[in-house]
Structure 1
Amino acid sequence: MPNASARLKHGRRTRRRRREDPARNELVSSSLESAQQCLFNQDYGTAFVHYLLVLNLAPMFKDFARESFRFTLFKWTEELDSVGRIQDLFDCYEQALELFPADEVILNSMGEHLFRMGFRDEAAGHFHKALKLRPDYPEARENFYRVANWLVERWHFLMLNDHGRNRKYQQAIQKAVQSGCNTVLDIGTGTGILGMCAKKAGAAEVYACELSKTMYELACEVVTANGMDGSIKILHMKSLEMEVPKDIPHRVSLVVTETVDAGLFGEGIIESLIHAWHHLLLPPQRGENEFQEPSATGRVIPAGATVFGMALESLEIRRHHRLCVSEVGSLSIAAAGELRSPVSCSPEPDDSMEPYTTERLSRLPGGYKPLTEPFTALNIDFNNVQELEGLSSREVQQIRLPVTQEGELDALAVWFQLHLDEESSLSTGPQEDTCWEQAIYPVHSTNGFVLKPQDELLVEVSCRDAFLRLCSVAVLRDGHEIRLDKRLDLQDSGNPIPNPNPNTEAELCSALACLQTDQNPTKDFCMLECSEMALLNNNDYHQSFCSALAKLFSQLKVKCQNKERGSGVQSGPTDSADSSDLLYVLDVSEGFSLLSLIAASNGHVKAYSSVEKTKQQEVLKRLARSNNVPEQHLEFWLNHTEDEQGMLKRPSREKLWSAIMLDCVETCGLIRQKLMEKASLARCLLEDGGQIFPAKIVVHGMLVESDTLLLESAVQGQEPTLGFNIAPFINQFTVPVHVFLDFSTLECRHLSDSVELFVLDLMDSTANYTNREVTVQATSAGRLTAIPFWYHIYLDQEISVSTLSQNSHWKQAAVVLQQPLEVRARDRVHLAVKLHKSAISISAHIQNTPGQMEQ
């Protein structure tokens, strides 16, 4: 029978042995030997090529050669990275993953390269795959947690937990669909919730688009889980790239979107809606008196918005955006020129500057003082395409704001009311219980200038590039106009700096009026990141370094003198620039740092700075000259190294470093990655008696109950969101450690006193550990939801700075428990604290047996 015959032939084929190919075997053998020899000779590129040949020709060697192949791949890609051959680097990883598609180590390593290059979406995908292959892989887990904070920002959880906002959107969509909007496009769909609302309301056709690969894949999972994968088409693309009929078959009658940021227009809603009206939406209804079928017209939800603003005083905003001190440590910084943050608004667009930043005013450390009443800055109708197209060409609007309270003008704050339809709206105001932050337009040019009641503040509002721009330009006082939009380069212009508190109003006006007639050209200003400005304004931090460095240098000088006396060598006066007894100091801080210059100002010190940007180096050089630091005593070590991977090196002479300053804590509140590895290398490069700064980091924490942290960490509750199953999918991106917290304003109940959680000793490797058990006694009853933590950074045994201090440029972080823990007063809570590389994890449970509390 044919079938029997087929089975018999198939059986014979499977028993037939593959014929040996001597030439092939010889090639594999010689290539494997060559790969191993090249690896021994550190010729990683050639070794990699040989391994590719061997493993493609003889896959049976994969298990045998896996470890050597990984090592070769990582060393070769490091070399490619160091010389900027990025495409070749990724080609190597692609070839490696063709051979080992389920290798979690290679996936994780490629993800790290992608993340460093700024490809966060792609990096997250690789970290996620590595974790699925090996859930207990700590490196991939740490990397995934870090990148998840970028990809699925915390506001996604807040919005899904904002039941009022969700219901209002659902009701507006339902009403529009029932009135005849039968085809719907959801622009920037996120989790897919608005598109699913439209489908649930009865829309015949629903389309959605999402640019983020991570969110696109998440939306596809959510839609499938809710049984709508066949009725909602999701596109991974910008709406600006969509075409009819290529991407959707015809124009839709309703666009729903929430592509608005704290400044309303920052996510490109104007551009996307103009494109939608011209290419994707049916034309709008022309008028109430003109008969037109509802299904033949288009509309947008939200229908429009009203933007509000307010002038305010806030020390917290001020210290992050402009220089507030005249000295930093032991240095006068008058010669630094104009330093300010990259957030600055002007009517003319400037690609190098951001027009605004964001803050949650209700949680702003130190609070804020309103200096004016709220005012209406702008109204916009999203259903009027002519109005949208004319937004960028609108004339600059000038608004006069009566000053209601005395205070220093630090910023304009902006929020808006989003009109979903003619009946329903959402407010992002600072007094609202909302998931939104407010947009902050900092003012740079008013140092020491106090607004007073009866003054009028002149504000200009424009939208030149479809960004909302607010700029404080002048103060009207007693009939005088005092311009604020001129830079205060008065030290160089020869004009006196106006006294911020003159005896008479007339004197103030006269002093400030000189700004208008100053014809001298303004020097280029130097931009620093907001956290760098805050650090520069933190004199306590720099004074602590002054004291610690001075103490170290004094000890080393005494030690050197004693050594010379013991050897009978007499030291005499020498030229400090060529002296053999110079102390060498290395500063490897991230970004802008004055620590190297503070060290060099001690005399007989040659300091190496990590500052890379040319303008910032020029600032340090000017400060060195004005503070009498010899030019040859300050160098920028990254200018002289070809291998950027070689972070810590010896000085150009044979001497070792007297001090190495490590940047240990990220602004967000986490320990910097690879800190302990850097400390280990730094210890090898210190001279006898030399010091790493800081010498030790002590982690402190506290038990708290915080609903806010829960709402920001995951979709809460067992009930579906608007009836949709979303939580299990987006909660995959829950991270156990929350960053960028202001503990001083976090809404929480303290359930314990602060305790010491962990110690990192950078000077003594034998004192370190990876696990610690801590028992904390609860002082109050409640639900333990999180453990915020911060650091006491010990420069030496006596001098320390805290990341929790009021003037700190650092934020705090918190471990959020997956399951809140009910505790009673006097309960003993057992914490298991672990440090893997730079990642801190904490688990908690109630201790049943009494024990002594660890300190």
Structure 2
Amino acid sequence: MASEEEPRTSEDPSTKNITAFGYTVQAQELAANGCYSKAFDLYIMAFEYCPEVKVRVEPEFRRLLDKYNEYLLTLNKIGDIFYNFERSVECYPGNIFILNDIGKYLYKFGYLREACCHFQKALNFDVGFVSAEKNLNSVKNYMIERWHYRMLNDKVRNGGYRDALREMIVPLKETILDLGTGTGLLAMYANECMPMMITACDGSDVMVELASNIFEDHLIEDIILVSKMSTALTFRDIGGKRSLIVTELFDAGLFGEQVLQTLTHAFEHLMAKNARIIPSRAEFFVAGAKCDSLSFKYRLNPSALEFLAIAGHNVQIVTTDPYDSEDIQFFEDLKYVTEPTSLFKVNFNNLEDMQEKLGSGEPYEASFYAKENSEINIIIGWFDLYLTENIMITTNPLDENHATAWQQAVFYDFVPFPVTADEKSSVKFTSYGGKLAVVPDYKRIDRISPEMLRFLNDEEYVKTVTSTIGAVCIYLCQLAEISLLNIVDLSPFPLVGFLLLKRGAQNLTCCARSQDDEKFILKILKANNLPTDKINMVTEEDLSIEQFKDQKFHVIHGNIIDLNGDINTKHKELLRQLKLSHLSPGGLVLPHKVFLEGKLVSCDWLDRSNLIDDANTGEYNLSKFMNKYQVSQMYHIDIPHMPHKTLSEVATIAQCTEGCISEVINVKPVDDGDVNAILCWYKLQLVENGEFLYTNRSNSFVDSMAFMANPKITIKTTDTGNILRCVDIDETFKLLVDVE
């Protein structure tokens, strides 16, 4: 007799698969109709019912997760966003894209350490994941600004402060407050002198935690850390008023980090009677100079003004900062036109003196006596910092032993003026609120974005376009009459469009980064008697492929390189779509090709802003903590003005205007040394068979970038160097180096 069939304890796998597939189909329909919550739940049900379906639907699930979280963000439902991520990670525990997205949201909401952890987790699963590494670098830069590294690597500054503290501290008596302690190095120097009490404060929770870990590692228990700005403290918060204040809240312009506000508050609320301050006083100097390579970073050069038919006008960058900062000693074309002159002195141990400088509306006047007939187009500023009456450090670039923690101030926001040998000229500066600025010039100054100014000041690029435009025009006239040409020019200034309009073209679509740029473009068109009624101006914010509807263009001119030297993936994708769907038959896309080039280098200047060398801080081991925050990529590199040693031949690393994949590029060493970076720039070819234009030069419209080697790699001329190009799905890339 046949036995009865055993009842099934589970569904047939094929049935599960069909059911799960049905859930995903419903989820797709719901997602298409904006029902993200229900769609999300259906996907989760499908995964629970049949885990095998997860692999097949992963891309569409992630797209839904993105849209759902964007929607929740508009409702400020932060908890729901992270609950979605929690459920998603349970389904895809090692998914690098989800981990990266979690990191981005954590970063957005200020959870910096947690964001770092998630970006690092993604990189642990895939070391070649470019997006996660770029995001990790962004968080690290936000958590610890690069100037901390310059400051801690400055032996002159560190030694000066250490000696000053030893001179000023009375053992077992002094009570000390370190304002803006950062890593706590000055507090540790003070602790060597056995004071009665030390409190160190900082407004950054990250820096306070870092300082706490450094103190613990060095078995220092006597320093009290307070995670607050000193201006938010009372003497009760720090256990009483203090007899000695030490601070380093300075920038290139001396007062830019609000040191006057900080110290006047300390005088009134935190300092005991007869308390002293390190540094005790300072003197600020200025000198008139001529330096075209600096000046042309901030104002249009005469040839650009003449080219645009606005000769004699004053056009400068839009800026919120009254000065820039640079390592002046690296600019070989800089010439001091005047002798240095003292602009002011400040006594940090005198409350009235600091209050007067904070509140006075009276300007400082710099009297310059010219050494020769010339022009002043830049004013250089630096300071002498008297830590005590016996110890002084300076940022004077003419002093070989100057401190390197601070760069020199570059004052540029004025109209250049001629000077005559031995005659006096005057420039007035204000310090209202404590920050120095040249008194505004009464002459009219037009303002444009830095991107537009640098683009127009690139004489080689403008010359290349100008010399090519005739041949371009002849070619285009074979496609249509000149008056019927339709042009889109998305460069910082529509250079190709402008030149074609001058030759009779009528229709131009261009992009303006700001209202200032829009006004300037219209001003140039009017100055050249060009029609403006058929100009379609799109803002950078609104720039998308949808803007172009069904238009067709005979010429597409664009720029895919950001000012900082990185590829702009938004512009690159937009130009790709324009070429694919909006280019007339036979039309031109300019530039024709863009290549990334690079070489292996050894560069101490890069390391100084990215790694701590403990030899510079005395016997304190700060590298163990600070070097966790080193970044793998650095931008805004000015190659002609950055000292470095070339260790390899130049290699073409990528073709940026076309798709590229991960690949190893061999490079030939030319010298022995320790590679710490791959220095990169671009090679452009405007038209097919045209000459190449390189961006690793002075006054290029874009800066360069560097991919850092971690750790450094020793290379010899007998070796073969390898550059590994890692490429993401969106064609962003990073570079690694090794040697064989």
- Aligned residue in 2 for 1:281: 271
Please tell me whether residue 774 in structure 1 is matched to residue 666 in structure 2: yes
Residue 536 of structure 1: how far off its partner (Å): 1.9
Match of 1:750 among 646, 660, 664: 646
CA contact (8 A) 1:739 1:811 kept: yes
CA contact (8 A) 2:85 2:102 kept: no
State the alpha-carbon separation in 2 of the partners of residues 794 and 401 from structure 1.
46
- Aligned residue in 1 for 2:10: none
State the alpha-carbon separation in 2 of the partners of residues 51 and 38 from structure 1.
7
- Aligned residue in 1 for 2:318: 342
CA contact (8 A) 2:287 2:338 kept: yes
Alignment of 1:690-709 (within 5 A): 690-709=587-606
- Aligned residue in 1 for 2:723: 831
- Aligned residue in 2 for 1:716: 613
CA contact (8 A) 1:704 1:751 kept: yes
- Aligned residue in 1 for 2:490: 588
Distance 1:248-1:37 versus aligned 2 partners, 3 A rule: farther
Residue 551 of structure 1: how far off its partner (Å): 3.7
Please tell me whether residue 319 in structure 1 is matched to residue 296 in structure 2: yes
Distance 1:330-1:162 versus aligned 2 partners, 3 A rule: closer
- Partner AA of 1:486 in structure 2: Y
CA contact (8 A) 1:105 1:130 kept: no
- Aligned residue in 1 for 2:424: 456
Q: Secondary structure at the match of 2:285?
A: strand
Please tell me whether residue 138 in structure 1 is matched to residue 130 in structure 2: yes
State the alpha-carbon separation in 1 of the partners of residues 410 and 560 from structure 2.
29
Alignment of 1:259-298 (within 5 A): 259-283=249-273, 285=274, 298=275
Please tell me whether residue 234 in structure 1 is matched to residue 234 in structure 2: no
Please tell me whether residue 804 in structure 1 is matched to residue 658 in structure 2: no
Please tell me whether residue 486 in structure 1 is matched to residue 442 in structure 2: yes
Match of 2:337 among 344, 367, 371: 371
Please tell me whether residue 357 in structure 1 is matched to residue 357 in structure 2: no
- Aligned residue in 1 for 2:379: 412
Q: Secondary structure at the match of 1:534?
A: helix
- Aligned residue in 2 for 1:814: 706
- Partner AA of 1:814 in structure 2: A
Residue 260 of structure 1: how far off its partner (Å): 0.6
Please tell me whether residue 689 in structure 1 is matched to residue 582 in structure 2: no
Q: Secondary structure at the match of 2:357?
A: coil
- Aligned residue in 2 for 1:791: 682
Paired residue total:
703
Alignment of 1:221-620 (within 5 A): 221-228=213-220, 231-245=222-236, 247-283=237-273, 285=274, 298-325=275-302, 327=304, 331-333=308-310, 338-343=314-319, 353-364=320-331, 366-394=332-360, 395-431=362-398, 432=400, 433-435=402-404, 436-442=406-412, 444-446=414-416, 449-471=417-439, 485-487=441-443, 525-548=445-468, 550-559=470-479, 576=483, 582-589=484-491, 594-620=495-521
Q: Secondary structure at the match of 1:610?
A: strand
Distance 1:636-1:35 versus aligned 2 partners, 3 A rule: farther
State the alpha-carbon separation in 1 of the partners of residues 135 and 52 from structure 2.
26
Distance 1:543-1:70 versus aligned 2 partners, 3 A rule: same
CA contact (8 A) 2:595 2:684 kept: yes
CA contact (8 A) 1:188 1:209 kept: yes
- Aligned residue in 2 for 1:158: 150
Alignment of 1:8-19 (within 5 A): none
RMSD of Structure 2 on Structure 1 (CA): 3.7
Q: Secondary structure at the match of 1:332?
A: coil
Residue 257 of structure 1: how far off its partner (Å): 1.6
CA contact (8 A) 1:112 1:123 kept: no
State the alpha-carbon separation in 2 of the partners of residues 551 and 78 from structure 1.
48
Distance 1:423-1:543 versus aligned 2 partners, 3 A rule: same
Q: Secondary structure at the match of 1:271?
A: helix
CA contact (8 A) 1:695 1:761 kept: no
**Worse overlay, 186-195 or 705-714:** 705-714
Alignment of 1:89-238 (within 5 A): 93-97=81-85, 105-106=97-98, 108-109=100-101, 112=104, 126-132=115-121, 134-135=123-124, 136=127, 137-149=129-141, 151-179=143-171, 182-228=174-220, 231-238=222-229
Residue 742 of structure 1: how far off its partner (Å): 2.3
- Partner AA of 2:682 in structure 1: Y
CA contact (8 A) 1:310 1:370 kept: yes
**Could you list the per-position Cα deviations for residues 507-545 of structure 1 after superposition, in whole angstroms to 9, with x for gaps in the alignment?**
xxxxxxxxxxxxxxxxxx432244532322223312323
Residue 310 of structure 1: how far off its partner (Å): 0.8
State the alpha-carbon separation in 2 of the partners of residues 692 and 321 from structure 1.
30
Residue 113 of structure 1: how far off its partner (Å): 6.5
**Could you list the per-position Cα deviations for residues 334-379 of structure 1 after superposition, in whole angstroms to 9, with x for gaps in the alignment?**
59x6421235xxxxxxxxx422111211012x43111111111111
**Worse overlay, 784-793 or 827-836:** 827-836
- Aligned residue in 2 for 1:630: 531
Q: Secondary structure at the match of 1:321?
A: coil
State the alpha-carbon separation in 2 of the partners of residues 462 and 61 from structure 1.
71
CA contact (8 A) 1:548 1:799 kept: no
Residue 330 of structure 1: how far off its partner (Å): 6.4
State the alpha-carbon separation in 1 of the partners of residues 303 and 79 from structure 2.
52
Residue 691 of structure 1: how far off its partner (Å): 3.2
- Partner AA of 1:708 in structure 2: W
- Aligned residue in 2 for 1:10: none
State the alpha-carbon separation in 2 of the partners of residues 362 and 44 from structure 1.
62
- Partner AA of 2:700 in structure 1: S
> % of aligned pairs identical?
23
Distance 1:89-1:791 versus aligned 2 partners, 3 A rule: farther
Give unpaired runs (5+ residues) of structure 1: 1-29, 286-297, 344-352, 474-484, 490-524, 562-573, 577-581, 848-855
Residue 415 of structure 1: how far off its partner (Å): 0.5
CA contact (8 A) 2:287 2:380 kept: yes
Q: Secondary structure at the match of 2:706?
A: strand
CA contact (8 A) 2:666 2:722 kept: yes
Q: TM-score, normalised by structure 2?
A: 0.84
CA contact (8 A) 1:597 1:634 kept: no
State the alpha-carbon separation in 2 of the partners of residues 224 and 675 from structure 1.
48
State the alpha-carbon separation in 1 of the partners of residues 457 and 22 from structure 2.
60
Q: Secondary structure at the match of 2:169?
A: helix
- Partner AA of 1:47 in structure 2: Y
Q: TM-score, normalised by structure 1?
A: 0.74
- Ranked by relative contact order (alpha carbons within 8 Å, sequence separation 6 or more), the top structure is 2
- Aligned residue in 2 for 1:648: 545
**Could you list the per-position Cα deviations for residues 572-599 of structure 1 after superposition, in whole angstroms to 9, with x for gaps in the alignment?**
xx9x4xxxxx33332334x555454344
Q: Secondary structure at the match of 1:700?
A: strand
CA contact (8 A) 1:323 1:537 kept: yes
Residue 559 of structure 1: how far off its partner (Å): 4.0
Q: Secondary structure at the match of 1:744?
A: helix
State the alpha-carbon separation in 1 of the partners of residues 38 and 198 from structure 2.
50
Distance 1:684-1:399 versus aligned 2 partners, 3 A rule: closer
State the alpha-carbon separation in 2 of the partners of residues 104 and 224 from structure 1.
35
CA contact (8 A) 2:448 2:516 kept: no
Residue 92 of structure 1: how far off its partner (Å): 5.3
- Partner AA of 1:306 in structure 2: E
- Partner AA of 1:185 in structure 2: L
**Could you list the per-position Cα deviations for residues 106-144 of structure 1 after superposition, in whole angstroms to 9, with x for gaps in the alignment?**
5633654787x8x8x656752443214643343211222
- Aligned residue in 2 for 1:14: none
Residue 455 of structure 1: how far off its partner (Å): 1.3
Residue 698 of structure 1: how far off its partner (Å): 1.8
